[in-house]
Amino acid sequence: MPRVSVVDMREQLKHGNRSVFSVPLTRALLLALQRKEQSILFVNRRGSARFMLCRACGHVPICSSCELAMSLDMTDPLDPRLRCHHCGRSRRLEEQCPSCDSPRYRPFGVGTQRIEVEAKLAFPGARVARWDSDVAGHKGSHAEMVRRLEAHEVDILVGTQMLAKGLDLPAMTVVGVVDADVGLALPDYTAQERTFQLLSQVAGRAGRRDLDGYVYIQTYQPEAPPIVAAANHDYRGFYEDEIAHRRRAGYPPFARLVRLLHRDTNKERGLEEAGRIAAELRLLRDAAGRAEPDVLGPMAAFIPRIRGEYRYQVLLRGRNPSALVANVRLGERWSVDVDPASLL
């Protein structure tokens, strides 16, 4: 097992380090370079400043009824809002951290390109390469990158979780998770579980053969259960915490979910249709004298627009939400996903 260190980025900032790389990670990267070993820096591919994070205390705004991180909605720049992707609840964005009043309460997310640039600046002379979906699109590019890594033509690889599986490089000794907070803040009931899995997986990339491996998880929330558990290789502890959260907030396996997703090239028409179906579902439920399932939304999907189509969703949560869906007529722009593995 590699040695896993959790780096508290709040402390880094307090001590004046504003770099995206903490002091312990920087030191480890420098040592690896000296020893002619390789390193990987993991960046979350969805890190595009979609949520708020306090750099002073690590606070991320959470929807109180869904226990999920709220997303930043800048649709109206004069009225920035926090919005829950699950239930649609929103509130005006505070100017200071609602938890500690710090003004260091800002959108969070870095991206692979920025980390590549920062790594080249911080480690001049190091051969830095980037591996993400932009680069990986070309045929044969994966094999070529693996060849370059195996031939040790790359010292520091910057990449997304696409890399987490399958790499087995003898000289790969340092793994840095640059922005562990992004995974935790994804508005999905599986976000904690996925973060735990990802961190456990990437930790396995370091020190696979004779050399010792060192893993650095950078985070503003070092006490978050998936991070603590991944650092201690504690699957059991994570499971117990996660199952309690699922039970409390009413997520699978304690309830069933159905997602109705509507696609339309016209935004207003799409939202209107999604709202119409949500209202009809509520009416049907109430007419049957039932308290459940919950009908949440309509809400813009996590990816609100794909190939020119606006995506709005309605979520149903309860013991048997499919029965209610069977009673409405959905047009061809709708798709129905029963027990979706993810809501992203």
User: Shortest CA distance to 226 belongs to which of 194, 251, 252?
Assistant: 194
Our finding on whether 59 is near Zn ion (CB under 5 A) is: yes
Near Zn ion by CB under 5 A, which window of 83-91, 171-179, 246-254, 326-334?
83-91
Give the nearer residue to Zn ion in terms of CB position, either 70 or 149: 70
Our finding on whether 70 is near Zn ion (CB under 5 A) is: no
Give the nearer residue to Zn ion in terms of CB position, either 86 or 205: 86
Q: Measure the CA–CA gap between 254 and 21, rounded to whole angstroms.
A: 40
Listed in order, strand segments (DSSP E) in 43-139 are: 51-54, 71-73, 81-83, 90-92, 105-108, 128-131
98 φ/ψ angles, rounded to the nearest 5 degrees: -70, -15
Near Zn ion by CB under 5 A, which window of 13-21, 31-39, 41-49, 65-73?
65-73
236 is written with which tokens? 């059991």
Near Zn ion by CB under 5 A, which window of 13-21, 91-99, 143-151, 189-197?
91-99
Q: Which of 30, 31, 49, 57 binds Zn ion (CB under 5 A)?
A: 57
Q: Measure the CA–CA gap between 237 and 155, rounded to whole angstroms.
A: 35
DSSP H or E segment with residue 289? none
61 is written with which tokens? 């705004």
Q: Which of 102, 136, 194, 284 binds Zn ion (CB under 5 A)?
A: 102
Q: Measure the CA–CA gap between 327 and 304, rounded to whole angstroms.
A: 27
Give the nearer residue to Zn ion in terms of CB position, either 54 or 175: 54
211 phi-psi bin (left φ>0, alpha ψ -120 to 50, beta other): beta
Our finding on whether 230 is near Zn ion (CB under 5 A) is: no
In the complex, least distance from residue 188 CB atom to Zn ion, rounded to whole angstroms: 12
Q: Measure the CA–CA gap between 179 and 175, rounded to whole angstroms.
A: 12
Near Zn ion by CB under 5 A, which window of 14-22, 96-104, 209-217, 297-305?
96-104
Near Zn ion by CB under 5 A, which window of 13-21, 94-102, 168-176, 335-343?
94-102
**Number of residues counted as binding Zn ion (CB under 5 A):** 14
For binding to Zn ion (CB under 5 A), which residues are involved?
54, 56-57, 59, 63, 66, 84, 86-87, 89, 97, 99-100, 102
